[in-house]
Amino acid sequence: MYGLPIKSLVDVWDNNLARFPRKTGVIWEDRGYSFAELHKQVEGLRGSLVRKFGLSKQEKVCFLLPNCFEYYIGYWSVVRSGAVVVPVNVRLKPESIAGIIRHVEARIVFVHGAVVEKAVEALKDCPDVEVVIGVGTTHAGWESYESLVEGPAPPEPPTIDPTDLVIIMHTSGTTGDPKGVMITHENIFFNNKNAIFAQGFRHEDIHLLVVPMFHCTALYTMLPLSAYQGSTILIYHRPEPRELVELIQKHRVTTFSTVPTMCYFLTNLKGLDQYDLRSLRLIAYAGAPMPPATIRRLREKFPGVWLHNFFGLTETISLTHVLADRYADVHPDSIGKLLPEVLQRIVDDDGNDVPPGEVGELCFHKYNVTQGYWKRPDLFQAAMLGDWFRTGDLARTDEDGFVYLKGRKKDMIIVGGENVYALEVESTILSHPKVMEAAVVGVEATGAFAYLGELIKAVVVPKEGETITEREIKKHCADNLPTYKVPHFVEFRDSLPRNPSGKVLKRELK
């Protein structure tokens, strides 16, 4: 039957299967799988989960897997069971993994062979876990994914309400324990609609998925959106520049989402001009400031490819802003403009709207954000300003509606009564041609400078093969910033400390 009304991701899958059974849905390890082939495996695994292990509607299932084909099959099997996908970052330490599993009271956990040792340690502290499904491993006492995917015929999928949970995504904050963000089926639809509008995704697309599958971009957007549109996902597990361009050439990839650092490495890849990358239509980037020099290099190396900066939070059902290609060069430091139906305010400390040009806290209407944090309604309520979710991000708009981030509110540095936004200083340092990465923090002012309250410290990672001095960094900042925003101290490091999700741990820089 064609044209089923779509109320849940189960309907998304069924519609797509009816329309495009023979179309390639996934490419993994150079093999293409049609949606009909994928469906057979999804239903085989779902049969095992429901009939053998009693998986019930809205039960939480944890996934401790890196990017792999089995993640895709497991995701859709759990979704079609009416249960809830709980991704777990494979880079976390065992105690953090155990904390997430206990937090959602998971009874069933998928574990990849690459993280067996870490998983065994974590599961010692998870008494509620009854079933561990090993992917690519025959660990004693665990179920074999390979046998379960050949499972019995499952029952009909349960009736799903659009407000039912489908994902609990734990935030990767740089302080404190992660919070479980509750995402519903209708949240996913909302995000997918915005993603199609923002990125111009098409049925014919072949998407290179190399960002972690335990993050929002994969589970909120790429997996459900590719099924909604009937497009193809090429799943890859290693962000190695040469391997990525080889994949783009071989499989005629059309879209690629990444981070600015990877864009830099791609544009400086030796022999890049030898590859045929004409299939590529879109490079979308997010997660850190994009240096204008890298944008210029992307224009040179990938002529005609759309460059989109995008922004969103775990709590905001992902996408909220996009900087379209036509503005990438003229507003490189902007996250772009609001997407349709996303409601935004920028407020001062008293909750009053600030005018264009002034910096305040970025807020989104409750319509655009999660239902809350799993088991922690108090934390979510504390983040609300009436009907508005306070993100903790500082931002401003200009007269044309472009939005510019100024960093986290907690990262604002007050020097002699003047507000200094860490992100602004970082972006300036990053514009230096010898700089790879930079992070800026405030440190206590002491001695003769105690009257200033705080001083600015910059931690800089030079590009490979480059030598740069503290004097050069300070002069570059003085040429581009007011004097009170110039760093007082500059420290050079080989790398910046990061949490398992890649966010810089600024507390370790002070």
The model's pLDDT over 474-487, given as tens digits with 9 standing for 90+, comes to 999 999 998 999 99
CA distance 360 to 71: 40
Q: What tens digit of pLDDT does each residue of 316-350 get?
A: 988 999 999 999 999 988 999 999 899 999 999 99
Per-residue pLDDT of 42-53, as tens digits, reads 999 999 999 999
Domains, the chain, in order of start with CATH, read 33-160 (3.40.50.980), 206-408 (3.40.50.12780), 412-508 (3.30.300.30)
* Percent of all residues in the chain with a pLDDT value above 90, rounded to a whole number: 84
Spatial CB neighbours of 350, under 8 Å, sequence gap ≥ 6: none
pLDDT higher than 70, residue 2 = no
- Answer for the pair 370, 317: CB distance below 8 angstroms, yes or no: yes
pLDDT in tens, 138-176: 899 999 999 999 999 999 999 999 999 999 999 865 445
Q: Which two tokens stand for residue 90?
A: 């494979």
Q: Among candidates 193, 317, 326, 201, which has minimal Cα distance to 256?
A: 201
The pLDDT score that the predictor gives to residue 1 is: 47
pLDDT of residue 449: 83
Question: Is the separation of the CB atoms in 170 and 180 below 8 Å?
Answer: yes
pLDDT tens by residue, 219-240? 999 999 999 999 999 999 999 9
CA atoms of 145 and 313, how far apart (whole Å): 32
Among 10-24, 280-294, 385-399, 456-470, the minimum mean pLDDT is found in 280-294
86 three-state secondary structure? strand
pLDDT at 175: 45
Instruction: Say whether pLDDT at 178 is over 80.
Output: no
What is the rounded CA–CA span in Å between residue 165 and residue 61? Answer: 12
Residue 410 has a pLDDT of 86
**500-504 contact pairs (CB < 8 A, 24+):** 500/89, 500/91, 500/92, 500/93, 500/96, 500/172, 501/89, 501/91, 501/172, 501/215, 502/172, 502/259, 502/287, 503/172, 503/173, 503/174, 504/174, 504/439
Half-sphere exposure of 255 toward its Cβ, with a 13 Å CA cutoff?
23
Lookup: tokens for 340: 């349709």
pLDDT tens per residue across span 440-479: 999 988 888 887 889 999 999 999 999 999 999 999 999 9
Residue written as token pair 């053998």 = 52
Q: What are phi and psi of 156, to 5 degrees?
A: -60, 140
In 3D space, the residue among 197, 219, 189, 209 whose CA is nearest the CA of residue 88 turns out to be 219
Nearest alpha-carbon partner for 71 in 229, 193, 185, 233:
233
The phi and psi torsions of 102 (rounded to 5 degrees) equal -65, -40
DSSP letter, residue 481 = S
Q: At 88, is the pLDDT very low, low, confident or very high (cuts 50, 70, 90)?
A: very high
Distance CA(217)–CA(243), nearest Å, equals 21
What pLDDT is recorded for position 177?
67
